[in-house]
């Protein structure tokens, strides 16, 4: 049978593979690829988006003959692997948010995808690119297993640091109940959800149930001005929530870290870290979360609640927070310094 024009003999065999940790980021990257390819004939370059939460059979059909595939690792592996039965023409592999893509959650499947493509590629080299706003030393070392030994390293701005265009603030709270009260005050201070205001706020919580709970609380006062987003939402619900927020139809979005990385949402004025991430991930999560504002030269504000008491207090994270605020030339209140010093003193006494 003669080959169909524009469709690889193998079937699904892209020239370039771009992968991201979340569905929303994969969708955004695919849209950016379309913009970059506007000058080409639509028959010359075909772009396909692969991610979970949608029909596998539909995406498989769309992937046939695609020159550029943008997707999440799970769906990419699911659709790509059965197709590779010989050589592949894949010249480029890109991992966006590479530090997340190479951590414990994604490392195995991404390594498997890359090794599979390299094996089918044979001796011909593949250009590989890793990008991220945070790139810890341990991830840089691990990258040497994926990139060639003499890989080129490019850095824009200060590595592993908050954006200089974001004003960082902290709010002291004794317990969870006070945190709820302070949330209302912060939203009022920045005119979020008030009549005639165009300001938008993105609120981060650590768990899905907390996102839902905050969404219910804020809906009582803000009504349809508040929407929510997390991993248990269907793909349609997640995309709809992002659209409502991006278009300012709902100026308040409460989300888990599913909205923390890479998303370019226009004109976000305020980030509220209602919950601080666990200490292990706090540094990088903080940088990525507050990076949703202050984009493309536009100023923004990030407010972080620091809880002193209770089961889920933030004392262990105060030292990291102070260092991040120093880099961003933020004013560090005395109470935060005291909390960090007391934490260190208590640890020394314990050990």
As a CATH number, domain 166-350 is 3.40.50.300
**What is 16-143's CATH topology?**
Rossmann fold (3.40.50)
Q: What average pLDDT does the segment 11-30 reach?
A: 91
Q: Which two tokens stand for residue 192?
A: 């979020």
Instruction: Answer whether 50's CB lies under 8 Å from 70's CB.
Output: yes
| Residue 308 dihedral angles phi and psi, to the nearest 5° | -85, -35
166-350 matches 16-143 in CATH topology: yes
Q: Which sequence spans correspond to the domains of the chain?
A: 16-143, 166-350
- Tens of pLDDT along 205-254? 999 999 999 999 999 888 888 999 999 999 899 999 999 999 999 999 99
- Split at pLDDT 50, 70, 90, the class of 351 is low
State the Cα–Cα distance between residues 261 and 245, nearest whole angstrom: 16
Say yes or no to pLDDT of 2 above 70: no
Q: What is the mean pLDDT of the chain?
A: 88
Q: Residues 341-345: what's their mean pLDDT?
A: 88
Write a three-state SS string for 210-251.
Answer: HHHHHHHHHHHHHHHHEEEECCCCCHHHHHHHHHHHHCCCCC
Q: Is the pLDDT of residue 69 over 50?
A: yes
174-213 confidence digits (pLDDT tens): 999 999 999 999 999 999 988 888 899 999 999 999 999 9
- 86 has a pLDDT exceeding 60: no
- Given a contact cutoff of 8 angstroms between Cβ atoms, the answer to whether 319 and 278 are in contact is no
Question: Rounded to an integer, what distance in angstroms lies between the CA atom of residue 159 and that of residue 142?
Answer: 17
Nearest to 99 by CA among 149, 72, 145, 134: 134
| Assessment of whether the complete model's pTM goes beyond 0.95 | no
The answer on pLDDT for 8 being more than 60 is no
**What is the average pLDDT across 38-62?**
85
Say how far apart CA 72 and CA 235 lie, in whole Å.
13
Q: Which tokens belong to 115?
A: 């090794």
User: What digits encode the pLDDT tens for the residues 276-299?
Assistant: 998 888 999 999 999 999 987 789
**pLDDT score at 43:** 67
Report percent pLDDT > 90 for the chain. Answer: 52
Summarize pLDDT for 87-121 with one digit per residue, the tens: 678 899 999 998 888 876 788 899 889 988 888 88
Give the model's confidence band at 83: pLDDT under 50 very low, under 70 low, under 90 confident, else very high: low
b/e 196-214 (16+ beta carbons within 10 angstroms → b): eeebbbbbbbbebebbbeb
- Which pLDDT value is given to residue 6? 42
Alpha-carbon distance of 248 to 266, in angstroms, equals 9
- How many Å apart are CA 201 and CA 340, to the nearest integer? 28
**134 pLDDT band (50/70/90 cuts)?**
confident
SS3 at position 338: helix
Instruction: With cut-offs at 50, 70 and 90, classify the pLDDT of residue 161.
Output: confident
């Amino acid at each position: 049978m003669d080959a169909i024009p524009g469709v690889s003999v193998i079937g699904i065999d892209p020239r370039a593979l771009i992968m991201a940790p979340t569905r929303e980021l994969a969708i955004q990257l695919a849209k950016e690829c379309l913009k970059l390819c506007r000058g080409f004939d639509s028959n010359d370059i075909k772009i396909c988006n692969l991610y979970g939460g949608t029909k596998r059979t539909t995406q498989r059909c769309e992937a046939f003959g695609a020159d550029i595939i943008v997707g999440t690792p799970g769906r990419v592996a699911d659709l790509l692997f059965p197709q590779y039965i010989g050589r592949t023409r894949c010249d480029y592999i890109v991992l966006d948010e590479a530090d997340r893509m190479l951590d414990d959650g994604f490392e195995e499947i991404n390594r498997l995808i890359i090794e599979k493509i390299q094996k089918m590629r044979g001796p011909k080299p593949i250009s590989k690119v890793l990008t991220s706003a945070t790139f810890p030393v341990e991830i840089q070392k691990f990258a040497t297993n994926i990139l060639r030994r003499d890989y080129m390293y490019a850095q824009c701005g200060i590595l592993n640091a908050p954006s200089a265009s974001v004003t960082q603030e902290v709010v002291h709270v004794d317990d969870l109940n006070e945190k709820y009260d302070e949330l209302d005050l912060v939203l009022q201070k920045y005119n979020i959800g008030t009549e005639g205001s165009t300001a938008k706020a993105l609120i981060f919580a650590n768990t899905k149930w907390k996102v839902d709970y905050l969404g219910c609380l804020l809906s009582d006062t803000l009504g349809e001005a508040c929407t929510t987003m997390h991993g248990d939402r269907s793909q349609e619900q997640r995309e709809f929530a992002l659209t409502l927020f991006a278009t300012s139809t709902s100026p308040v979005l409460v989300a888990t870290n599913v909205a923390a990385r890479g998303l370019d949402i226009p004109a976000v004025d305020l980030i509220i870290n209602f919950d601080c991430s666990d200490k292990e991930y706090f540094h990088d999560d903080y940088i990525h979360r507050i990076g949703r504002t202050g984009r493309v030269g536009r100023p923004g504000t990030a407010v972080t609640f620091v809880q002193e008491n209770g089961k889920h207090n933030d004392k262990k994270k105060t030292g990291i927070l102070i260092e991040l605020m120093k880099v961003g030339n933020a004013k560090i209140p005395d109470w935060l310094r005291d909390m960090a010093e007391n934490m260190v003193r208590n640890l020394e006494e314990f050990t």
